[in-house]
Amino acid sequence: MQKILRRVATAERVVAKRKKKDTKIKDKKNQSRQRERRMQQLSVLTAASRQSKQATKDAWELGPLAPRYDVGRDAGTRGSIQEQRFTTYPDISKTQLEARCAWAGGSDLLCLAVNDRVVVMEGPDKGRIGKVTQILLDKGEVYVEGLNKSNISIDVDIRRDDIPPVLSAELPIAISRVRLVHPIKDPETGETKDVIINRIEPRNQIQDRYTGKRRWSRVVPGLNAGIPWPEKDDDDTKEKKADTLRIDVEEKTFVPTLLRPPMPESLIDELRGKYSRFRTRHDPEYVARLEAEEQAKQDRKKLMDTMRTPLQEFHRAEREKKKKKGKPRLTIEMLEKIGEVMARNMERQRNGGALLEESSEAAENRAVPDAPIGAGSEDTPPPPSS
């Protein structure tokens, strides 16, 4: 059991490491993509700002003689913005997304839905109330009906003849720039008024085990007042003969019991790791297949041994001759010769030792000279004093 737990822990670490590496690579790619989009949008804004400044300068200095810039492909687009100004907007990071959705419960459990009434807190439409028509969760933005509209010029290459060059369209608004508006009854006066809700939190989260969908309620913190979800619009989708009925989709076609396995045995073998090197028991077919693969490797090795070059054949024949001869044996003549060599070496060693002793004695005699007789004796008189 401990071995299994260690293997599971090792596998989890490997998966976490691989996931971290993949996330890092993905983040680098996203950063480079965002940088490109940001530079593209910046170039479009710079060109539009330069053109607007030049047009203003020409109109001030030249008056009626000022050149017109809304001609040719840009005919009739004066005072509008290009489509690239908002279509090339770069993606935002997870931190920026959470900051935008902080007041509404976060991006995972966003307490904002389509058909909610919101008020714009910033911009030219500040203080105006509208209905949410679309939510962009990946960018933390919403479309509000009738608010934040602008004139957008459509490129000639993508518009039809019956479409005007400029369209008035709604642009997305960041969720941080809007607040929820809901009628709440005043407990003191009993009047029901629209109240701007600056903060809302998710509560009572429930996840469906079959569909995986999550549901939660939204509550105003402090007041503990629940805010009901808005009613959804009726679906106008028409049914067709080829459509699958909902009753057929939700029908349970499999009920697990203890009388048979919950899944086919082949699938159980795949989940169990049938060919894992950690298994101690294998099916006979798998063992036979491995034995056949090993025999095929040996046969191939033998076949490659038969395919030799002439030099390899010569070396092989020489080795076979040496094997046939066996180990060499010493004859009597060889032994006598070896004895003579050994005796000669022993005699040389003895002679060398005697010569070494004689040379050492001679060196000692040369180093210590013989002293004269009577020198340094007590009978020798001392030298006369002056």
Write down the pLDDT at residue 56. Answer: 84
CA distances 15 to 5, 12, 21, Å, are: 15, 5, 10
Residues 6+ positions from 127 with CB-CB distance below 8 Å: 119, 120
Kindly state the average pLDDT of the residues 359-370. 64
142 pLDDT band, cuts 50/70/90, is: very high
- Is there a contact between 231 and 131 (Cβ–Cβ < 8 Å)? no
Instruction: Identify any residues that bridge with 144 across adjacent strands, giving them in sequence order.
Output: 132
Write down the pLDDT at residue 327. Answer: 80
Select from 278, 231, 245, 229 the least CA-distant residue to 110: 229
- pTM for this one? 0.53
381 pLDDT band, cuts 50/70/90, is: low
- CA atoms lying within 13 Å on the CB side of residue 246: 1
- Is there a contact between 145 and 130 (Cβ–Cβ < 8 Å)? yes
Select from 83, 293, 56, 51 the least CA-distant residue to 167: 83
Length of the chain: 386
Q: What percent of the chain has pLDDT over 90?
A: 11
Write down the pLDDT at residue 373. Answer: 45
Q: Is the pLDDT of residue 158 over 80?
A: no
Q: Is the pLDDT of residue 386 over 60?
A: no
The better pLDDT of the pair 227, 71 is held by 227
Q: Is the pLDDT of residue 157 over 50?
A: yes
Residue 374, phi then psi, degrees to nearest 5? 85, 0
Q: Is the pLDDT of residue 118 over 90?
A: yes
Strands 173-174 and 166-170: unpaired
Q: What percent of the chain has pLDDT over 70?
A: 88
Based on the number of CB atoms within 10 Å of its own CB, is 302 exposed (0-12), middle (13-18) or buried (19 or more)?
Answer: exposed
Mean residue pLDDT across the chain: 81
- Least confident piece of the model among 41-50, 128-137, 352-361: 352-361
Q: Is the pLDDT of residue 380 over 60?
A: no
375 pLDDT band, cuts 50/70/90, is: very low
SS (H, E, C) the chain: CHHHHHHHHHHHHHHHHHHHHHHHHHHHHHHHHHHHHHHHHHHHHHHHHHHHHHHHHHHHHHHHHCCCCCCHHHCCCCCCEECHHHHCCCCCCHHHHHHHCCCCCCCCCCCCCCCCEEEECCCCCCCCEEEEEEEECCCCEEEECCCCEEEEECCCCCCCCCCCCEEEEECCEEHHHEEEEEEEECCCCCCEEEEEECCCEEEEEEECCCCCCEEEEEEECCCCEEECCCCCCCCCCCCCCCCCCHHHHCCCCCCCCCCCCCCCHHHHHHHHCCCCCCCCCCCHHHHHHHHHHHHHHHHHHHHHHHCCCHHHHHHHHHHHHHHHHCCCCCCHHHHHHHHHHHHHHHHHHHHHHHHHHHHHHHHHHHHCCCCCCCCCCCCCCCCCCC
The better pLDDT of the pair 212, 229 is held by 229
Kindly state the average pLDDT of the residues 169-180. 89
Write down the pLDDT at residue 119. Answer: 92
Dump pLDDT digits (tens) for 273-331: 666 766 666 778 878 888 899 999 998 888 877 777 888 888 888 989 888 888 878 88
Instruction: Identify any residues that bridge with 217 across adjacent strands, giving them in sequence order.
Output: 203
Select from 248, 95, 77 the least CA-distant residue to 166: 77
Write down the pLDDT at residue 120. Answer: 92
Q: Is the pLDDT of residue 265 over 80?
A: no
Write down the pLDDT at residue 131. Answer: 92
Q: Which of 83-87, 238-242, 294-298 has the highest mean pLDDT?
A: 294-298
CA distances 95 to 98, 101, 103, 138, Å, are: 5, 10, 14, 12
